[in-house]
Amino acid sequence: TAAATRTRIEALSVAAAAVPSAGSMPARRRHLDDLVARIDSSPRPGDGPERSVLLVVHGATDHSAVPASTSSRTLRVASADDDAEVAQMIAEAGEDLVGLIDASLEPLTADIWAVLADAIAGGAAAATGLLVHPQRPRSRATIYDLLVRSAGFDVEIDSDGAPHVLARAAGTGLDRRHGRDDRPSPVAAASGALLLVDRAALVDAGGYVATGDRDVSVLDLCLRMADRGRPIVCDPSAVAFDHRPVTRGTHLTRPIDESSPQWRRLLEERGPILRRSAVDHDPTSLDLVITVASPMRKVADRWGDWHLAEALARATTERGHHVHVQTLDEVASPRSRAADVHLVLRGLARIARTSGQAHVLWVISHPEDLDDEELDQADLVLVASEPFAEALRERTSTPVEVMLQATDAERFRPLAPDPAHRHDVTVVGRSRDVLRPMVADALAAGIRPAIYGSGWTDLVDPSLVVADHVDNHDLPRIYASAGVVLNDHWDTMRTWGFISNRVFDVLACGTPVVSDAVPGLTDLFGDLVATWSNPDDMAVAVGSALALDRSRFAERARSLVVDGHTFAHRAGELERALVRFGLVRPRR
């Protein structure tokens, strides 16, 4: 009874013997009074239908984890020595409800399981209670004695986008002046030390999966049940002393060891669900991480794919989503694991999927490096080529969709020519240690292009090299100042119809581009892009481009690109594809 509980608490609180210092005695007595008041006012269990309960007690201790009586409810008690045994007992249970309690807990609320059962009767999948630091003897007393250890668990996303599990109300007192604090309230998860769960909800979520860490196992179960629309609640009228030792200071607020293999495995398997359970999560917003093949952020700025990814990220962010662009060394980070969707800009590096999130490939180059296993492991394959997409559909059962490259029309736009970059014929790109076709044929045709890029000085007249490095942010000015820009493709990209993003960027600047012939190029751009296959073709194409009415050409070229080939268009295509193939939920 409440009176008996009060007597037990008062017996535990020989006040002077339990406080670390005389100065803290008034606060300690106040916490004790608050705790007694909370227990005295705990509601009596309701008269709902009788439900059977399996109570699994984990560990062994002298504390009274198992109540002597259980009201009128049918109760079966079993003990387990480890998490695997807990899982086995729960899997074999036939009861309506399953309770899990650490043997180090000391229930203070009379018939605590009935109180938690009433909380579940309101529609929750599971319920936990208010765990309080006990009043310890002087030799082990702490400043946390009689303060809250946890009122369930919350999830918080830090400034870097990584999720963390926090003990709700940790370190607070038990002041009951606000009556609303005594009602069951939703939490992200229950503590592994005290849990009552509806067995039907548990089975529907896939059961209790042992991880070796009971708090992580219960967190995993709660996340899966909540993701199916069954809330987890904390009923603060179900109070227990938690005698488990605090092994580290951070454990007071962060109950999960984030250095443990269990936490890392949970992030890999449930990262997106974990992030969606955060207190401030916006259910209308998608969380997307984009990985490029650059080995690290320090050198990413020199990779064209990095800037492409950033442009797509900006456009997707403008649609109300959260996007993070990362390099290869960040793939296993908590931020990456917690994203709803992992979009891999497939260049030269293969990236393994994370089991708990949607894995999408966007093949924009080097199609020869793709193998069937990588295709089959993806949830969706986007391809910047219609011919190659058609070929991939014969190789995999994974959905394959066309998503062409594009431009950032706000950056790449007509600008006043810069005299420092004013050249009749411009080439931008690394040599790749060969005399690339566009330069070789231009030279053979008597054209002396202005070259921006590394690796050319041993292949051409050094006076043709304007700069061996170009900052990506300078490209719009360079393109807009050129009379014509030359373009070519890797052999495999040309064969399979991958149109480089340079064509989109140059046209958006209102500048003519002369390119090698790529399947689909003329279908996409008509006569806006002249092609060449030999030096004579090059001479004719360049001459014609330089003779164009630049103003009229710029208007036509930019209009075509802006009307259908910006990253804003691609962001919309990506979102619609994710919804169409069931990889994300439609916006509410």
pLDDT tens string 333-379: 999 999 999 999 987 778 888 888 999 999 998 898 899 999 999 99
Q: Does 470 share its domain with 363?
A: no
Instruction: Show the domain range for 156.
Output: 2-276
Q: Does 19 share its domain with 168?
A: yes
Contact call for residues 532 and 541 (beta carbons, < 8 A): yes
Q: Does 19 share its domain with 158?
A: yes
Identify the pLDDT of residue 26: 53
Identify the pLDDT of residue 182: 73
**Which among 225, 241, 276 is the end of a domain?**
276
Identify the pLDDT of residue 279: 80
Q: Which 8-state DSSP code applies to residue 367?
A: G
User: For 30-59, how does the pLDDT look when each residue is reduced to its tens digit (9 = 90+)?
Assistant: 544 555 555 455 555 555 567 889 999 988
**Which among 276, 295, 321 is the end of a domain?**
276
Number of domains in the chain: 3
Q: Does 432 share its domain with 556?
A: yes
Helix H or strand E segment including 72:
none
Identify the pLDDT of residue 134: 92
Half-sphere exposure of 402 (CA within 13 A, CB side): 14
What three-state secondary structure class fits 200?
helix
User: For 92-140, how does the pLDDT look when each residue is reduced to its tens digit (9 = 90+)?
Assistant: 999 999 999 999 999 999 889 999 999 999 899 999 999 999 988 888 7
Is residue 587 domain-resident?
A: no
| Range list of H helices, 318-380 | 334-337, 372-377
Is residue 412 domain-resident?
A: no
Q: Does 456 share its domain with 530?
A: yes
Contact call for residues 108 and 63 (beta carbons, < 8 A): no
Q: Which 8-state DSSP code applies to residue 96?
A: S
Half-sphere exposure of 355 (CA within 13 A, CB side): 7
Identify the pLDDT of residue 232: 97
Contact call for residues 35 and 240 (beta carbons, < 8 A): no
Q: Does 336 share its domain with 271?
A: no
Q: What is the CATH number of the domain that holds 203?
A: 3.90.550
Name every residue whose Cβ is closer than 8 Å to that of residue 400 and which is 6 or more positions away in sequence: 381, 382, 383, 389, 392, 393
Q: Does 472 share its domain with 342?
A: no
* Ranges in the chain, pLDDT < 70: 1-49, 60-73, 175-181, 587-588
Is residue 331 domain-resident?
A: yes
Distances (CA, A) of 191 to 61, 258, 563: 19, 16, 53
**Which among 213, 241, 276 is the end of a domain?**
276
Angle between helices 437-444 and 535-546 (to 10 degrees): 80
Is residue 413 domain-resident?
A: no
Query: DSSP E strands: which ranges in 141-248?
Result: 148-150, 153-157, 163-167, 185-187, 194-198, 232-242
Contact call for residues 237 and 112 (beta carbons, < 8 A): no
Is residue 554 domain-resident?
A: yes
Identify the pLDDT of residue 65: 52
Q: Does 494 share its domain with 446?
A: yes
Identify the pLDDT of residue 325: 97
Is residue 362 domain-resident?
A: yes
Q: Does 364 share its domain with 504?
A: no
- State pTM to two decimals: 0.85
- 3-state helix, strand, coil split of the chain in percent (to 5) is 40, 20, 40
Identify the pLDDT of residue 46: 57
Helix H or strand E segment including 106:
strand 105-107
Q: What is the CATH number of the domain that holds 509?
A: 3.40.50.2000
Q: Does 297 share its domain with 269?
A: no
What's the rounded Cα separation, in Å, for the pair 555 and 128?
65
Q: Does 348 share its domain with 465?
A: no
Q: Does 220 share its domain with 304?
A: no
